[in-house]
Amino acid sequence: MSQAVVQRLHHNAYVTKDQEATRAFYEDILGFPLIATWSEADELFGAVRVYCHTFFGLQDGSALAFFQFADEEDQKLFDPDLVPSPFRHIALKVDAETQADLERRVEESGWDPEGGSFVLEHGYCRSFYTHDPNGMLVEFTVDAPDAEEIAADRAADAHETLRRWLAGDHTSNNNYR
């Protein structure tokens, strides 16, 4: 029996309170083209919901998508005020030149999001993080030069490392930093 393999990300969806602020950030600052806007009214979860659904294109054909509801009660229902967390984010693979360009664009635009923008050197990749107008953390990551070797190492011990961690041995296996 063969294992199903996902071809690529189709889209990542998020709820926005302001479609125009979202468009300006992704299209004007970061340079992601607005490739579709759907104005829709559908019966969803027991009621007719009226909403706008925008898509910002990525090079591989995938997209970042955002919903905004016309009815304030629907907006509240689907956009709960969640506790912000750096562990709830989307990571997008870029090359070093693109990452540097995105860092420059964010800095030059004067974009100063709550939570800021920052860089983390993970060892297996370098990541530039910034928050969008909705509070979503967006990560632009460049793989380390030996990413294929690192990926092979982690694939070889993925199950054993998970078993070890779940059993209480939390010793780090990131010796790439």
Q: What is the CATH number of domain 1-81?
A: 3.10.180.10
Nearest to 88 by CA among 12, 170, 161, 8: 12
Sign for the pseudo-dihedral over CA of 95, 20, 84, 51: negative
User: Where exactly are the structural domains of the chain?
Assistant: 1-81
| 87 close to 99: Cβ distance less than 8 angstroms | no
pLDDT at 130: 93
The mean pLDDT value for 20-28 works out to 95
* pTM for the whole structure: 0.79
* pLDDT score for 1: 62
What phi, psi does 170 have (nearest 5°)? Answer: -100, 25
pLDDT digits (tens, 9 = 90+) for 68-121: 999 999 988 887 565 566 667 888 999 999 999 999 999 999 998 877 899 999
Any idea what DSSP says for residue 29? Answer: I
Res 108: pLDDT: 94
């694939």: which residue's tokens?
A: 155
2-to-5, 153, 161 alpha-carbon distances in Å: 9, 23, 25
**Which pLDDT value is given to residue 151?**
87
CB 110 within 8 A of CB 97: no
- Strand positions, DSSP E, the chain: 11-15, 34-44, 47-57, 63-69, 89-93, 118-121, 125-131, 137-143
Look at 134 and 60; give whichever has higher pLDDT.
Answer: 60
Question: Over pLDDT 70: what percentage of the chain?
Answer: 92
Q: Is 60 a residue whose pLDDT tops 60?
A: yes
| Confidence label for 166 from pLDDT (cuts 50, 70 and 90) | confident
Average pLDDT over residues 141-152: 90
